[in-house]
Amino acid sequence: MSEHPEDAPIAKLSLVSKFAAIDDHWNPRIVGELNGQHVKIAKIHGAFDWHHHEHEDELFLVHRGSFRMEFRDRAIDLEAGDILIVPRGVEHRPVADHEAEILMFEPAGTLNTGNVTSARTVREPERL
Ligand code: NI
């Protein structure tokens, strides 16, 4: 994808094709950008790290499968087609009992592990 979207041709993308190119988990890829936001996709499986984002709200959309977003006081189950927005500052962790495909929409530069640094932190997501 171009670093300068205004120069890029207008073209649709296929989430099915993009996900087919991913064979790992918890490794977000950038598939689009607009207005300073990144559209990212990832396959997930298992429990992620507890974290929060000081300044960014995060949108999650389930493309295939299901997962639950755990908060310290409750959990929300999400299925394909569901969207959840996690407000900034709220501690959360996604947990997928089976592999799921998710799309995230958040400001460019948002770290996947938020305020926490771990082996899963991806500082420079690749573009797919
Ligand atoms: Ni997060």
- pTM above 0.75? yes
Split at pLDDT 50, 70, 90, the class of 57 is very high
Q: Judge whether residue 85 has pLDDT over 60.
A: yes
The CA 92 to ligand 1 mean position distance, Å, reads 6
Domain boundaries, the chain: 28-107
Cα 51 to ligand 1 centroid, rounded to whole Å: 6
Neighbouring residues of 115: CB distance < 8 A, sequence distance ≥ 6? 51, 52, 53, 54
pLDDT in tens, 34-52: 999 999 999 999 999 999 9
Using the mean position of ligand 1's atoms as its centre, give its distance from the Cα of residue 66 in Å: 17
Distance 7 CA to ligand 1 centre (A): 31
The dotted CATH code for 28-107 is: 2.60.120.10
The letter for the amino acid at 46 is: G
In the structure, what pLDDT confidence band is assigned to residue 53 with cuts at 50, 70 and 90? Answer: very high
Residue type, 85: I
Note the pLDDT tens digit of each residue in 70-82.
Answer: 999 999 999 999 9
What tokens appear for 45 in the block? 């499986």
